[in-house]
């Protein structure tokens, strides 16, 4: 039986990835495609449902993105969100205009009333808060549609043609601000599209392993293993599929946290693969000697990593496949066709020319980050790797402010390890999304053992966030901070003062550099 899939058509909305994630969280596979996809491609994709995303345009603008109206003749249910709702309304004979009064424009949290006789709202409360973001107004609803949602300001917040399976909402059900929003998406999937709910990481693992074996055959695969979540899960999946045909090159640049290199190596001891760990600490530190500017550090580390990987690859000789840990947000954000390019990713769209290989393989290319983590658990990777917090590519090099020395790095490693130990011991690791220590370039006078000290100030950083685009500083209990401070000052030589960063993002960034 072929896998059921939902097609998410992207009209430039800021929540397009979130819509796709919500669908997959409901155990239904989906893909995000640009609105320019042809009708033939849609038929080939054979979706059980189509979702139109929001977008920044007005549907009546001459250059606004549109779809082939024939999409509504395919017999496939459609859910239009915000711009997608207005696009569907206009395409099917309705009328959308700019709102003439502030009462017809809605932004932010809004009390909304629902017709629970509609399949989209089946089993849900009759009212709740929804997240609005629209300045246009549906002056005329298409024939065959009923009004199934309203607010005090707008009578047509949600519309439905139950017979054809067409639904439109002017709010964003995919965001956390909308109460029962995910339940509405689930109703569309199960009540309207008749999804079977077969998308699981266990099934994906088995399917992906079989596909990798078929593709690789008897060939050789080379992977640069950083120890991060994406490359580690890619390595585990490939190891499960092809074993000794895989070579993982782990470049240990000496900029990792305490014991991290050993933990990465130990995690892969269960698989029969070629694991090459390159001790390049001295080499990297020589290149970084006297360098204080963070972007200069990043450039040196990136270039040197390539050089080391290139040298190791030459020792291996020709390989058939170069593997990368590209994940789905990388692909979406890099853009295609008319889609907006949010940011370019180094591992999307360009193949390195310093390794002799025939083809590239990206086994995680269609997975979101949370799915990658779950796949890692399915593959048996230890939790310390699977749930690893975001860690910058240059590692501790940008958490040591100013010039780098091995002594400074070792000092930061010890302090950071104590910080992480105490946060975990207090159970605060479940409440904080990212936390780490920064060795500042500030020295101050202190008193220890009746003697004067002149040592470094250590900054502690901890944030809570849902998307890492914005973040708030974490309210760590004072007694936990007190224990962390006492231990670090007493146990780590070279630090005599601890400060806690209470700046949110924005105006600050999460990392210091």
Positions marked active-site: 82, 172, 174
End-to-end CA distance of the chain: 51
- Rounded-to-integer distance, Cα 255 and Cα 207, Å: 36
- Rounded-to-integer distance, Cα 83 and Cα 387, Å: 36
Closest CA to 171 of 141, 136, 130: 130
- Rounded-to-integer distance, Cα 121 and Cα 90, Å: 23
Phi, psi dihedral angles at 303 (to 5 degrees): -65, -40
Closest CA to 297 of 391, 442, 400, 394: 394
Alpha helices in 128-280 (DSSP H): 181-187, 201-216, 229-242, 260-267
Beta strands in 352-487, from DSSP E residues, in sequence order: 357-361, 434-448, 451-464, 472-473
- Rounded-to-integer distance, Cα 282 and Cα 393, Å: 18
Element spanning 89, H or E: helix 83-91
Total number of residues shown for the chain? 513
Phi-psi region of 176 (alpha: psi -120 to 50; beta: other; left: phi over 0): alpha
DSSP for 182-199 reads: HHHHHHIIIIIS------
Q: What distances in angstroms separate CA 193 from CA 106, 188, 439, one per listed residue?
A: 29, 6, 54
- The 10 Å Cβ neighbour count of residue 513 is 17
Beta strands in 12-65, from DSSP E residues, in sequence order: 29-34, 49-52
């Amino acid at each position: 039986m072929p896998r059921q899939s939902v097609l998410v058509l992207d009209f430039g909305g800021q929540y397009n990835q979130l819509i796709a994630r919500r669908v997959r969280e409901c155990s239904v596979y989906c893909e995000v495609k640009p609105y320019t996809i042809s009708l033939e491609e849609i038929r080939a994709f054979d979706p059980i449902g189509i979702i139109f995303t929001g977008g920044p345009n007005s549907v009546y603008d001459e250059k606004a993105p549109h779809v082939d109206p024939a999409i509504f003749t395919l017999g496939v249910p459609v859910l239009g969100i915000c711009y997608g709702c207005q696009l569907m309304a206009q395409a099917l004979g309705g009328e959308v205009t700019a709102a003439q009064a502030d009462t017809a424009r809605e932004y932010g949290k809004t009390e909304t009333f629902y017709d629970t006789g509609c399949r989209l709202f089946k089993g849900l409360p009759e009212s709740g808060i929804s997240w609005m973001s629209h300045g246009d107004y549906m002056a005329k609803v298409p024939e065959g549609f009923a009004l199934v949602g309203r607010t005090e300001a707008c009578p047509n917040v949600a519309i439905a043609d139950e017979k054809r399976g067409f639904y439109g909402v002017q709010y964003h059900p995919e965001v956390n601000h909308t109460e029962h929003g995910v339940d509405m998406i689930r109703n569309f999937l199960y009540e309207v599209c008749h999804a079977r709910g077969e998308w699981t990481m266990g099934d994906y693992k088995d399917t992906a392993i079989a596909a990798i074996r078929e593709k690789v055959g008897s060939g050789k695969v080379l992977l640069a293993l950083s120890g991060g979540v994406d490359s580690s899960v890619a390595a585990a999946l490939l190891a499960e599929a092809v074993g000794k045909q895989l070579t993982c090159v782990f470049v240990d640049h000496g900029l990792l946290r305490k014991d991290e290199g050993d933990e990465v190596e130990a995690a892969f001891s269960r698989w029969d693969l070629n694991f090459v760990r390159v001790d390049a600490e001295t080499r990297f530190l020589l290149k970084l000697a006297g360098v204080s500017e963070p972007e200069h550090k990043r450039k040196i580390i990136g270039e040197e990593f390539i050089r080391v990987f290139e040298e190791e690859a030459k020792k291996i000789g020709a390989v058939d496949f170069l593997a990368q840990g590209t994940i789905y947000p990388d692909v979406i954000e890099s853009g295609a066709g008319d889609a907006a390019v949010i940011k370019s990713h180094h591992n999307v769209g360009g193949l390195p020319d310093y390794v002799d290989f025939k083809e590239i393989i990206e086994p995680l290319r269609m997975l979101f980050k949370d799915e990658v983590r779950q796949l890692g658990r399915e593959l048996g990777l230890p939790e310390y790797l699977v749930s690893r917090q975001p860690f910058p590519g240059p590692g501790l090099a940008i958490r040591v402010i100013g010039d780098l020395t091995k002594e400074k790095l070792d000092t930061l490693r010890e302090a950071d390890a104590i910080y992480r130990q105490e946060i975990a011991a207090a159970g605060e690791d479940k409440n904080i999304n990212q936390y780490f220590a920064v060795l500042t370039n500030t020295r101050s006078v202190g008193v220890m053992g009746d003697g004067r000290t002149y040592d470094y100030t250590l900054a502690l950083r901890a944030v809570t966030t849902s998307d890492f685009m914005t973040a708030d500083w974490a309210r760590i209990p004072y007694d936990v901070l007190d224990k962390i401070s006492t231990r670090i000052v007493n146990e780590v030589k070279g630090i005599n003062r601890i400060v806690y960063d209470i700046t949110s993002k924005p105006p600050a960034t999460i990392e210091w550099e």
